[in-house]
């Protein structure tokens, strides 16, 4: 089989001029996909702002001298659109992107350079930015908490547990209101522990959370990362009936609890391993992992 062509060089050569012609406020690219970051950074002219996406520790050293803004994302093999969604969702939550911004995004198959240049306007791409009219995630949920939960779900989507796919639901923020709709059908495994010992930001909690993700029910997490409960049944007064086709009870619950409270919900589908994010009763976006080719390598040929 012929080696795939490398389109990285010609794309980055024209990226700056395209960003200028479309009046892009931000140009995103993965730092590990560009050989000469310093030269590339100089080719991007104001008012376009260059944002270098880092997903490995060594990336941080390479971008240090470019003076470009950086955005750290989890290091997983995603479809091209999945890469855009994860990065722009985090950028949007941090205020790097705002409603009406035009941006350019350079992406490609993970680990194989850049082969795609995408131009978008925040608010025009409905499937990607359904959350334009919503407040920042940092309003009452720490950004690092949201990113940790998203990372955990990405890990579960790619690794599963003991070789099996699982589905789960996390509800973040507004925990006092959320608890009004909770019923604990099993003994809460986090009850009685000091808050500092059950914070999702603690590295020692990573495997614990993954193990309890097998349990039916939801994780309820405070905006500061403290895990309130696991295996929790949520019973919002009104369940959503206007879900996209094919989504079941877990997703209906996520929509309903975020409609009834000021929370954010993240779901992982057991059947497709797709991550969906919910707020104010609506799905903000969905993130699909890259399919695997016959030789077991992740690819990004299907970006639907």
Determine how β-strand 168-172 pairs with β-strand 116-121: unpaired
Average pLDDT for residues 125-130, to the nearest whole number?
50
pTM of the model: 0.78
Q: Which has the minimum average pLDDT: 44-48, 118-122, 259-263?
A: 118-122
Residue 118: band (very low, low, confident or very high) from pLDDT cuts 50, 70, 90: very high
Cα(52)–Cα(87) distance, integer angstroms: 10
Task: Tell me what pLDDT residue 149 has.
Answer: 93
Spatial strand order in the sheet of 218-221: 182-184, 227-234, 218-221, 168-172, 264-268, 275-279, 282-287
| Tens digit of each residue's pLDDT (9 = 90 or more) over 21-45 | 999 999 999 988 888 888 899 999 9
Cα(231)–Cα(169) distance, integer angstroms: 10
For each of the domains in the chain, give its residue range(s) and CATH number, in order of start: 8-121 (3.40.1380.20), 137-279 (3.40.1700.10)
Cα(288)–Cα(231) distance, integer angstroms: 25
Determine how β-strand 102-107 pairs with β-strand 26-30: parallel
């Amino acid at each position: 089989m012929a080696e795939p062509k490398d389109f990285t060089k010609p794309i980055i050569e024209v990226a700056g001029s395209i960003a200028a012609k479309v009046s892009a406020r931000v140009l995103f690219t993965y730092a590990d996909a560009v050989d000469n970051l310093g030269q590339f950074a100089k080719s991007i002219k104001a008012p376009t702002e260059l944002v270098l996406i880092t997903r490995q520790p060594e990336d941080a050293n390479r971008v240090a001298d470019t003076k470009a803004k950086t955005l750290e994302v989890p290091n997983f093999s995603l479809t091209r659109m999945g890469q855009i969604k994860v990065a722009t969702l985090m950028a949007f939550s941090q205020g790097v992107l705002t409603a009406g911004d035009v941006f350019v995004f350079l992406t490609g198959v993970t680990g194989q350079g850049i082969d795609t240049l995408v131009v978008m306007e925040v608010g025009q791409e409905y499937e990607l930015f359904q959350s334009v009219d919503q407040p920042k995630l940092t309003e009452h949920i720490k950004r690092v908490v949201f990113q940790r939960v998203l990372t955990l779900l990405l890990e579960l989507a790619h690794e599963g547990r003991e070789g099996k796919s699982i589905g789960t639901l996390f509800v973040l923020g507004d925990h006092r209101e959320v608890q009004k709709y909770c019923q604990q059908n099993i003994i809460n495994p986090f009850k009685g522990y000091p808050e500092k010992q059950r914070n999702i930001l603690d590295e020692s909690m990573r495997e614990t959370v993954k193990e309890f993700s097998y349990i039916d029910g939801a994780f309820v997490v405070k905006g500061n990362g403290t895990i309130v409960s696991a295996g929790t049944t949520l019973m919002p007064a009104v369940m959503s009936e206007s879900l996209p086709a094919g989504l079941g009870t877990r997703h209906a619950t996520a929509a309903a609890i975020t409609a009834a409270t000021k929370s954010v919900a993240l779901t992982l589908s057991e059947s497709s391993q797709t991550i969906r994010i919910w707020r104010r009763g609506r799905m903000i976006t969905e993130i699909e992992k890259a399919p695997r080719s016959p030789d077991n390598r992740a690819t990004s040929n299907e970006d639907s």
